[in-house]
């Protein structure tokens, strides 16, 4: 069954946010040292690091729309990251335990700035981003906006060349227009779903009690873990971010 979702317009970026959710998994461990800065060490990639190539598109027998979707995916997937968070808690009976969450993010600058949802990284003690090739980096929260469910996090690319998303405009989206969603639902990196814009200017009450206005509805499947990913138009421009 397809999941219908909504997106909200932003003032900081010409984008929209799609309603999705963040996976929450709980695990226990002994002592706070089990989750520390040493758990995810930044790799020493160097300036000559080269990402593995994407598989070639085999166009024979494919429709124009299929080929276009594949090209949009290839042109943008390296700008999508998995965002993993760890929250530490103290329990009288269980001692120290952790709660882990997973969402998505979009690389918006070559020096490691990422846009995601605030609820993805809310109250996190540790934030880790995983790039398309599986490389992990520690990240820090730069700022957040609870009213719009926005957050900016940053990691140090250590001389690595990063692919950034091609920004578009949410104002150009129309009902019936094809859209493509990129993210990491259920922790499955590099997932693409497609659909259309089903409606515009929808209101939505957020879990934090804010009334989100200017939401846009789509029938593209948005699953848990897609939060913070990208919604693209058929030209491959970033028109929205999944929420």
Asked whether residue 27 falls in the same domain as residue 129, the answer is yes
Distance of alpha carbon 213 from alpha carbon 9, whole angstroms: 7
The total of structural domains in the chain comes to 2
Residue partners of 158: CB distance under 8 A and separation at least 6: 42, 43, 44, 45, 46
- 69, 102, 144, 149: the catalytic one is 149
Q: Are the CB atoms for 16 and 7 separated by under 8 Å?
A: yes
- 119, 144, 239, 241: the catalytic one is 119
Distance of alpha carbon 80 from alpha carbon 190, whole angstroms: 7
> How much is the pLDDT for 239?
78
Supply the CATH number for residue 92's domain: 2.40.10.10
Asked whether residue 12 falls in the same domain as residue 27, the answer is no
Helix, strand, or coil here: 74? helix
Residue partners of 113: CB distance under 8 A and separation at least 6: 107, 142, 152, 153, 154
Is the residue at 138 inside a domain?
yes
Q: Are the CB atoms for 35 and 50 separated by under 8 Å?
A: no
Asked whether residue 183 falls in the same domain as residue 223, the answer is yes
Asked whether residue 113 falls in the same domain as residue 210, the answer is no
Is residue 227 among the annotated active site residues?
yes
Asked whether residue 118 falls in the same domain as residue 27, the answer is yes
Residue partners of 195: CB distance under 8 A and separation at least 6: 2, 178, 179, 181, 218, 219, 220, 221
Asked whether residue 27 falls in the same domain as residue 101, the answer is yes
104-141: b or e for each residue (b if 16 or more CB lie within 10 Å)?
bbbbbeeebbbbbbbbbbbebebbbbbbbeebbbebeb
Is the residue at 218 inside a domain?
yes
Reading the block at residue 191, the tokens are: 């997932």
**Alpha helix ranges (H) inside the chain:** 64-76, 118-121
**The dihedral of CA 39, 133, 6, 144: what is its sign?**
positive
> How much is the pLDDT for 49?
52
Of 242, 54, 22, 55, nearest to 163 (Cα)?
54
Is the residue at 27 inside a domain?
yes
Q: What is the DSSP letter of 152?
A: E
Is the residue at 64 inside a domain?
no
Reading the block at residue 171, the tokens are: 């104002």
User: DSSP per residue over 169-214, as a string?
Assistant: -GGG--TT-EEEEEE-GGG-SSEEEEEEEEEEEEEEE-TTS-EEEE
- 69, 98, 227, 241: the catalytic one is 227
pLDDT along the chain (243 residues), means of 10: 40 39 30 31 45 71 90 92 90 83 93 92 92 93 86 93 87 91 80 91 76 80 85 85 72
Asked whether residue 89 falls in the same domain as residue 148, the answer is yes
Q: Are the CB atoms for 88 and 35 separated by under 8 Å?
A: yes
End residue of a domain, out of 111, 130, 154: 154
> How much is the pLDDT for 140?
95
Asked whether residue 169 falls in the same domain as residue 224, the answer is yes
> How much is the pLDDT for 57?
72
Is residue 161 among the annotated active site residues?
no
Domain range spanning residue 194?
5-22+165-242
> How much is the pLDDT for 186?
67
> How much is the pLDDT for 52?
65
Is the residue at 105 inside a domain?
yes
> How much is the pLDDT for 146?
81
Is the residue at 48 inside a domain?
no
Is the residue at 177 inside a domain?
yes
- Burial (CB < 10 A; 0-12, 13-18, 19+), residue 18, is buried
Asked whether residue 181 falls in the same domain as residue 128, the answer is no
């Amino acid at each position: 069954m397809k999941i219908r979702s909504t997106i909200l317009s932003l003032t900081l970026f010409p984008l929209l946010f799609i309603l999705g959710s963040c996976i929450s998994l709980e695990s226990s461990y002994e002592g706070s040292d089990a989750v520390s800065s040493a758990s995810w060490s930044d790799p020493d990639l160097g300036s000559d690091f080269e990402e593995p190539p994407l598989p070639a598109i085999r166009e024979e027998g494919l429709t124009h729309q299929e080929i276009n979707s594949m090209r949009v995916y290839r042109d943008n997937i390296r700008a999508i990251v998995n965002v993993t968070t760890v929250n530490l808690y103290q329990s009288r009976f269980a001692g120290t335990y952790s709660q882990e969450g997973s969402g998505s993010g979009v690389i918006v600058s070559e020096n490691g700035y990422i846009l995601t949802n605030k609820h993805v990284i809310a109250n996190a003690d540790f934030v880790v981003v995983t790039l398309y090739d599986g490389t992990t980096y520690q990240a820090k929260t730069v700022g957040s906006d609870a009213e719009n469910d926005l957050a900016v996090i940053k990691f140090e690319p250590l001389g690595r060349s990063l692919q950034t998303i091609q920004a578009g405009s949410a104002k150009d989206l129309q009902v019936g227009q094809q859209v493509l969603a990129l993210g990491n639902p259920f922790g499955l990196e590099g997932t693409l779903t497609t659909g259309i814009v089903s409606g515009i200017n929808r209101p939505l009450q957020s879990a934090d009690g804010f009334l989100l206005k200017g939401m846009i509805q789509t029938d593209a499947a948005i699953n848990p873990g897609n939060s913070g990913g990208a919604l693209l138009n058929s030209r491959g421009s970033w028109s929205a971010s999944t929420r």
